[in-house]
Chains A and B, each alone.
Chain A
Amino acid sequence: MTTDPVNPAPRLDNQDPALFGQTPSQTVGPFFHYGLPWKGGADLVGQSDMGARPELFPEEHYVLNRSPPRGAVGGETIVLEGVVYDAEGKPVPDAMIEIWQANAAGRYASPDDDRPDVPLDEGFIGFGRAATDENGLYRFRTVRPGPVPGPGNRLQAPHIAVGVFGRGLIKRLATRIYFEDAAENDADPILALVPAERRDTLVARKGRNDAWRFDIILQGERETVFFDV
């Protein structure tokens, strides 16, 4: 870019057609709690306050959603929880986890899943959001998803898509949660793309109180597999 000292050219900006393309990603920073994770965001089947951190800002500044009512949701209700760790093994207390999943029948509540033969649940969207707590722990309540179609007309094993955000994360990290006891895992076409010795970082296991445990290790030994999607 040249600059004329008499008549400076306008700086390139968002509106410049020559620059048109994907808007770059930036971190959520440490102060997203009053702007993103709403009460109930982590409860995909009930009406609890799970997901938010309202203690981090005054109540009069809570302008996010409040535990909307749900309709009927079929399938097995599960609790999914885990801790986000950094490279030193320290929990990350200012991360945010998002999940996206099919219902128990394996149908996504999205116009881009238009299979009429697989039923939707009136009360189930399948999108959730949870801030990690001061100990780096996130927790969702949802249903165990059914299998969904994959490449080459093969079924994918039941899984939940996960996005990780936080201070120090310039862009979302994407991963998946599979379930340890699912027989379909061995034939899953996405797991097959992951080096065998790292596949278990994508598998949730039954932990305390019958919850499914899925820790997310951002870096280091047993680093979670993250996907280029």
Chain B
Amino acid sequence: MSLILPYAREDAGQPPSLHPGYASTVARSPRQPLVEIPHTLTETTGPAGCWDSLMGGALADLTTQHKGTPQGQRIIVSGRVLDENGRPVPNTVMEIWQANAAGRYIHKKDQWDAPLDPNFTGAGRVVTDAEGRYRYVTVRPGAYPWGNHHNAWRPSHIHLSLLGPAFATRLVTQMYFPDDPLIEIDPIANAVPTPFRQRMVSRFDLATTQPNWALGYLFDVVLRGREATPPDTEHGEDDHDD
């Protein structure tokens, strides 16, 4: 049978499921302790290289999906998907979705009184290259109010969804923008303890910025990696021919 190389568990930067400041976690987070299980083939495997059959083909430019150009500040977001050991995660899918430049989602349940943009859907997906690199073009999403508490506003953010190589590496997160004063008062971002919250804040980058065209931001995504110490095994490297 296959040798199981387990993945590392959550590090100190992961948020708890219950964060009362984000009100809807109160009735939707478990109260019983999680049951820790060893990683088996179930947790160390995942779909690979079949993204077109699952999510569909790549859609890396969110500004050219419709007849006209969307409103707002055009931006380029690029970076790498790595594991926590610093190794690139190649050929893995990243799905993205976001509000438009006014902070309005195309979703029918978004009732905020900001304009929809017929030229902007706000959804796309990219697959990392052999070095784990990705790049997409979009517009900077706007901030928007929400009903969590009085005068609550979400900071500008882009939703990211990654599978990585295994069930254990699944990650959904949000990318924030530098110098956004709303991050510090956002209960969702603040579910993540400092300083780890800052891992979700992208960096403006002049080298990624294209003259007369689009501002550039860097954002690396770090997925869980294999445990640094291999598990105890009776089949060492020196007895492979027995």
Q: Which residues of A contact B (CB under 8 A)?
A: 1, 11-16, 19-36, 38, 41, 55-58, 60-61, 63-66, 68, 86-88, 90, 92, 94, 98, 100, 102, 108-115, 125-127, 148-151, 153, 156, 159, 161, 163, 165-174, 176, 190, 193-194, 198, 218-220, 223-229
Contact = CB atoms under 8 A, between A and B. Distances in A.
Interface string B89-119: 0000001110100000111111000000010
23 contacts: A13-B202, A21-B11, A24-B192, A24-B196, A25-B173, A28-B161, A35-B123, A36-B95, A68-B53, A109-B47, A110-B47, A127-B54, A127-B163, A165-B172, A167-B24, A169-B25, A169-B28, A170-B191, A171-B15, A190-B37, A190-B40, A226-B34, A229-B168
Nearest to A195: B35
Nearest to B46: A110
A57 B1 CA distance: 46
Contacts of A153: 1
A9 B218 CA distance: 19
Contacts of B195: 1, 12, 19
A24 B29 contact: no
Contacts of B17: 169-171, 173
B173 A26 contact: yes
B55 A88 contact: no
Given A24-B192, A41-B54, A127 B46 contact: yes
Contacts of B203: 13-15
A32 B41 contact: no
Interface in B19-61: 19, 22, 24-32, 34-48, 50, 52-56, 59
A102 B65 CA distance: 36
Interface residues of B, number: 100
A30 B198 CA distance: 23
B95 A35 contact: yes
Contacts of B218: 14-15
B171 to A, nearest CB: 6
Contact of A64 (B22, B55, B118): B55
B14 A22 contact: yes
A27 to B, nearest CB: 6
From DSSP, what is the main secondary structure of chain B's interface residues?
loop
A227 B29 CA distance: 13
Given A29-B159, A165-B172, A219-B30, A65 B56 contact: yes
B47 A126 contact: yes
Nearest to B24: A168
A26 B9 CA distance: 17
The interface centre, meaning the residue of B25, B79, B199 with most chain A CB atoms within 10 A of its CB, is: B199
A219 B26 CA distance: 9
Contacts of A229: 37, 39, 43, 167-168
Contacts of B110: 31
B221 interface: yes
Interface in B171-199: 171-175, 178-179, 188-189, 191-192, 195-199
A224 B31 CA distance: 10
Given A25-B172, A149-B2, A219 B27 contact: yes
Contacts of B59: 63
Contacts of A169: 17, 25, 28-29
Given A23-B171, A28-B159, A87-B26, 4 more contacts: A64-B123, A112-B45, A113-B2, A126-B47
Contact of A57 (B30, B42, B43, B106): B106
A166 B188 CA distance: 13
